[in-house]
Amino acid sequence: MSMHVDVFESRGAAERAVAAEIAALVRRRPDAVLGLATGNTPTGVYAELVRLHREDGLDLSRVRTFNLDEYCGIAPRDPRTFRAWMEQVFFGPAGIALANTHFPDGVEHGRALHLEELPRHVEAFERAIQAVGGIDLQLLGIGRNGHVGFNEPGSTRASRTRRVELHAWTREDAAKSFGGLEHVPTHAITMGVATILEARALRVLAFGAAKRALVARTLASEPDPAWPASYLRAHADARLVVDRDASV
């Protein structure tokens, strides 16, 4: 149950290594299925993949992607959605076909679904992952309260993709990008813990001194709903990728 930890001298070196692994996967299998995360942590991996696309001919046009999560209650085309961010930072510059990208966003044909329509939507998201043969490699970060995706404390090992209420700290951490806490959505839809654990490989990134305590607790904790990142340790091919500042 111990998780491999890869410690790199710098954040940049860690990002290049993870991007190189993804690039190798895509060169081997051009229609690879990538599980993607948002937040500050994975930005350098996306930037490096864009560089490989531009300077090294890495063809990402056939990859299929599934993002971990999306906020509820903001308009489908709002620039603050994770989808808009991913399109701007990664999908567009990397030449990823938008038709091959998936979000558990509660949006179908440009329309935000009603609450009672969400169970059907999240089941379809899970089925879409199954239909492409599962996720080859899932990128993850760790939230201040140990969340993965938006699986907040209290999430079970068996949880699937679903609508969740956001934890107070999660909303605080998002306040800046929403221009104030009162504008941060109260709910989101997240890939479940069980869904995440079905990916063939998990790469959990943590950079900077602020993440060190989170890394320590993730490595020390038995599988515990109070610290959802602890569930990842049970995965056969999970690696925690850290820089010196985040290493314990």
Active-site annotation, residues: 69, 145, 147, 152
For ligand GLP, the nearest residue by Cβ is 141
Nearer to ligand GLP, 15 or 58 (CB): 15
177 binds ligand GLP per the rule CB under 6 A:
no
Nearer to ligand GLP, 62 or 145 (CB): 145
Question: Which one-letter amino acid corresponds to residue 59?
Answer: D
In the bound complex, what is the minimum distance in angstroms from residue 140's beta carbon to ligand GLP? 6
Position among 35, 44, 143, 228 found at the interface with ligand GLP (CB under 6 A): 143
Answer yes or no whether residue 41 interacts with ligand GLP by CB under 6 A: yes
Contact between residue 192 and residue 151 where contact means Cβ atoms under 8 Å apart: yes
243 binding ligand GLP? (CB under 6 A): no
- The two tokens of residue 165 are 């209420």
Of 39, 76, 95, 225, the residue at the interface with ligand GLP (CB under 6 A) is: 39
Q: Is 192 in the site for ligand GLP (CB under 6 A)?
A: no
Of 69 and 105, the one with the shorter C-beta distance to ligand GLP is 69
Contact of 150 with 214, CB cutoff 8 Å: no
Least Å distance between CB 118 and ligand GLP?
A: 18
CA–CA distance, 86 with 36 (Å, rounded to integer)? 9
By CB under 6 A, tell whether 106 contacts ligand GLP.
no
Q: Toward ligand GLP, which CB reaches closer, 23 or 150?
A: 150
Residues of this chain, 65-94, that bind ligand GLP according to CB under 6 A: 68-69
94 or 146: CB nearest ligand GLP: 146
- Other Cβ atoms within 10 Å of 94 Cβ, number: 21
By CB under 6 A, tell whether 141 contacts ligand GLP. Answer: yes
**Residue 15 in the binding site for ligand GLP (CB under 6 A):** no
Residue 228 in the binding site for ligand GLP (CB under 6 A): no
Q: What is the per-residue DSSP string for the chain?
A: -PPEEEEESSHHHHHHHHHHHHHHHHHH-TT-EEEE--SSTTHHHHHHHHHHHHHH----TT-EEEESEEESSS-TT-TTSHHHHHIIIIIHHHT--GGGEE---SEETTEEPPGGGHHHHHHHHHHHHHHTT--SEEEE---TTS-BTTB-TT--TT--SEEEEPPHHHHHHHHHHHTSGGGS-SEEEE--HHHHHTSSEEEEEE-SGGGHHHHHHHHHPPSBTTBGGGGGGGSTTEEEEEEGGG--
Near ligand GLP by CB under 6 A: residue from 16, 35, 38, 146: 38
Q: Closest distance between ligand GLP and the C-beta of residue 43, in Å?
A: 8
Residues that bind ligand GLP (CB under 6 A): 37-41, 68-69, 141, 143, 149-150, 170
